[in-house]
Structure 1
Amino acid sequence: MAAPSPQPAAPAPASGGSYRLLYVSLLVVGAGNSMLQPLLPPLARELGLPDASLGWIFSLSALFWVFASPFWGRRSDDVGRKPIIALGMAAYAASMGLFAIVVIIGLNGLLSGAALFACLILARAIFGAVGSAASPASQAYVADRSTPAQRTERIAALTAAFALGATMGPAICAVLAGRFGLVFPLIFTCVLAGASAWTIWRFLPEPEKPSAPPERARWIDSWRLASDDRLAPFLIYGFGLSILGGTIQQTYTLYLMDRLDVTGRAAAEQASAGFMVGALALLATQMALIPRLHWKSSTFMIAGAAVLSAGIVLQMLATTLGALVVSQFLQGAGFGLARPGFAGGASMSVRPHEQGAAAGLVVAVNGAGFVISPITGGVAYDYLHPLAPLAISLALALIMALFASRSRRLKHIESAPPPPSIDPTN
């Protein structure tokens, strides 16, 4: 069994301003994506599209994300982190802008049916194919400038910025859509993402490219790295976590509507409360709890899967809104422990010149579960039983906890005591 790869003795330092730029960029992406959740169902009905079409738009985008993320992570090893991050944010702006344009054309009756559906898929595909560049390059930028002792905390801070955006997104969307219409939040996100891309390109410091071997980085090398026994256990765990997250996210509102017998605006408001509480729990876990824990990566992964299991069981038993909201709190806390655990461990398991490729694979598995979650989620809910998606999720969470507790490779990656907590607002 291979020992953990050596890390650089003195990573290039980064100022607090550098991290703030990355935090704000991922916050914009998190807010924009979470705005789509309450926006798309009413938009789809106004456009005459079936409800099921929404899941497949996200699923196909996730498929692009899976294959593109490793390429962009490896590419950042070759050309540097900053241009890849800026490209990803610019592509995200273009995706949201084109999505808004297609919706406007559809609402005016100039496009409908299959042609409209195809254009929406293509607009969203830009995010999956090119917008996916920002996340792995951002993680690799942090890895380049942190020691193993700092890495899990700083990657957790990046994830927390995304979670903060996801928490803010529904509230921002409600205000903007109520005042300016359903399309305006899409345009607003496009402008913010474009401004973020320009700011990254103009102000993010990167005095030198990451240390890389002489040969040109190749996309296929990233997929070869995925089978490396240093990294593969973390990716397996992350793939399971992604399936679990996609399944729960796509069926929670349906489950709430059927369990509490609510519809329409009341259902949207009550479901939004659960999603926001879950995002806040994830944020609090990553920003307040993780920096104070002296755990191995595998311990974070075991604890995260265990807390997730408790949240799923509570959701299965819940008969009131309060119980459902508490279940979302537990699930958010579980994700908050598990994601930095596997992402930080994956980063510590590879060499410095492999950081971009490893980050790309981590981001890829984060989206991979959403390719098949329409089956484990919506299809299982409609054709098997309303509890079927939760039963699948519970079984998967228990398997993940067992896997993390038994894998000798995962246990071998140590997490050193963290430094003082990083506050992304400073």
Structure 2
Amino acid sequence: MTAPTPLPTSETVVSRPQTPLLLGAVLLVYLGQMTLNPIIAPLSREVGLAEWQVGVTISSAALMLVLTSQFWGRRSQSWGRKPVLVAAFALATVTMILFALVAWAGMTGLVTGVALFVLFVLFRGIGFGAAIAAVPPTAQAYIADVTTDETARVKGMAGVGAVQGIAMVGGSVIGGLLSAFGLLTPLIAVPVLLVAGLVLITVRLRREQRHELIAEPARVRPFDPRVWPFLLAGFGMFTALGFIQVITGFIVQDRLGLDAQTTGLVTGGALLAAGVGMILAQAVIVPRSGWTPPTLLRVGGTIALAGFLLLIMDAGPVPLFSSILIIGLGLGIAMPGYTAGPTLLVNREEQGGLAGLISATTGLTFVIAPTAGTALYGTWALLPIIVGAAIMAIIVLFVFLHPRFRRMPADPDPEKR
């Protein structure tokens, strides 16, 4: 086994990095996705879909993330970032226009039942899922390529998480406020955001020169001893999140006794709290802490666990909003540890494959968790929250006890990992 060269030299760093522009692309695609979150629960009830059908729709998007992330991650190194992102934004725009039309047809009764469910899965799930799968690995592989030390790497990965948090806040505000004008209004706004991203990438993003590309990016195995502990930690944390993310709208509506349009507005406020926690974590706490990836996982996981335990309480809006904020804060601290940690242990040729693997691992959690969460919610409203808290507790113990997280800062020899 050859020694890795995880940190690029001046000869391998892409000239004139366009990191802010790439983060802008991440912001816009996630802003489009997050704008839908406040309305997905009330929209499903308006068109006559069951909770489990919403779960299947979200899970199908996650399945596409699993199936295509490694492909996109490697292609971002062999084709270049610009062609990958242009294709992704174009596909996302088309599928969201079609999804808005399907939602309108469902609300007016033109399409109902199984046909409506299939179209939801096709456009919101498969099409949009395949499109957004390209964005995180492209951004993560790029940051791994242009950062030169551990601190810069962690800050760069935190930047990706920070713009996701900003998108969560912005999407919550946009989706919640626009839902007051009808549930179709946010659906119309999403393609507009995606077109803006497509224009930004097409006009402003520089295409790499041939010598900056990697002809044959390497695959990274999920059970590679250098990376699997990080993948398992991330898988557990996002699985716990997946059990509650899709049912947040149902929790808000049922605990507070709200109608459909008010639910969209209040759910937007709840997701806004999560986004504020994530932004605070990744824009302020992580860059200033100087913590290593294992420390970020330990601290963030513990805070998120506290949020899950608080969410179990049905004591009105204050504990509800507080718990969601705490979960966002904890996962916001943990995420850069999950994404940056393994990038410090692999070669440059493996960064695209690793970025795809990280995204696929995250996506895998949302293949099962949303469907399971919505099904468990139909059985007993507290059950998915309790299951999520239990998973989070197990992962917190894992990151405290596993040797990878205890030895990593002091053991630079990859042969021993």
User: Does TM-score exceed 0.5, indicating one fold?
Assistant: yes
Residue aligning to 2:383: 388
The answer for the alignment partner of 1:340 in structure 2 is: 336
Deviation of residue 172 (structure 1)?
1.5
CA contact (8 A) 2:79 2:213 kept: no
What is the aligned partner in structure 1 of residue 97 from structure 2?
A: 97
Aligned residues of 2:303 and 2:329 also touching (Cα < 8 A) = yes
Which of the numbers 300, 303, 317 marks the counterpart of 2:296? Answer: 300
Checking the alignment, whether the CA contact within 8 Å between 1:86 and 1:134 is kept in structure 2 is no
CA contact (8 A) 2:39 2:264 kept: no
Task: Report if the CA contact (8 A) 2:30-2:168 is conserved.
Answer: yes
* Separation in 2, partners of 1:64, 1:84: 16
Q: For the structure 1 residues 328 and 175, does the alpha-carbon distance in structure 2 shift closer, same or farther, using more than 3 Å as the test? A: closer
- Show the counterpart of 2:355: 359
Q: For residues 29 and 305 of structure 1, what CA distance do their matches in structure 2 show?
A: 26
2:166 maps to which residue?
164
CA contact (8 A) 1:177 1:184 kept: yes
SS in 2 for 1:49: coil
Give CA deviations for 1:67-92 in whole Å, capped at 9, x if unaligned: 11111111222212221122222222
CA shift, 1:114, in A, is 1.6
Structure 1 alignment gaps of length 5 or more: 416-426
Shift of the alpha carbon at 1:185?
2.5
Deviation of 1:338 after TM superposition, in Å, equals 0.9
* Separation in structure 2 between the aligned mates of residue 142 and residue 151 of structure 1, nearest angstrom: 7
**Do the aligned partners of 2:301 and 2:334 also contact (CA within 8 Å) in 1?**
yes
- Count of residue pairs brought into register by the alignment: 407
What's the C-alpha RMSD, in Å, of the aligned pairs? 2.6
Unmatched segments (≥5 aa) in structure 2:
411-417
Shift of 1:307: 0.3
How do 1:18-417 residues align onto structure 2 when only pairs under 5 Å count?
A: 18-124=18-124, 125-148=126-149, 149-179=151-181, 181-208=182-209, 216-217=216-217, 222=219, 224-262=220-258, 264-317=260-313, 319-383=315-379, 385-414=380-409
CA contact (8 A) 1:77 1:357 kept: no
Partner in structure 1 of residue 413 of structure 2: none
Q: CA deviation at 1:102?
A: 2.3
- Residue 238 of structure 1 deviates from its aligned partner by 1.3
Secondary structure of residue in 2 paired with 1:111: coil
Amino acid corresponding to residue 67 of structure 2 in structure 1: F
Question: What amino acid does structure 1 have at the position aligned with 2:209?
Answer: E
Q: Deviations over 1:336-356 (max 9, x none)?
A: 011111101122121111111
Deviation at 1:371, TM superposition (A): 1.0
| Residues 77 and 254 of structure 1, relative CA distance in 2, 3 Å threshold | same
Q: Which moved more, 1:288-297 or 1:76-85?
A: 76-85
Q: TM-score, normalised by structure 2?
A: 0.89
Alpha-carbon offset, residue 389 of structure 1: 1.7
C-alpha displacement of 1:206: 4.0
Tell me the TM-score normalized by structure 1.
Answer: 0.87
Q: Which amino acid aligns with 1:156?
A: A
CA shift digits 1:180-224 (9 cap, x unpaired): x4333223221321231232133212433576765x45xxx64x5
Q: Is the 8 A contact 1:381 1:387 kept in 2?
A: yes
Give, in whole Å, the separation in 2 of the partners of 1:296 and 1:23. Answer: 23
| Structure 2 Cα separation of the partners of residues 105 and 260 of structure 1 | 29
Task: Measure how far apart 1:310 and its partner are.
Answer: 1.0
Q: Is the 8 A contact 2:31 2:168 kept in 1?
A: yes
Aligned partners of 2:8 and 2:146 also within 8 Å: no
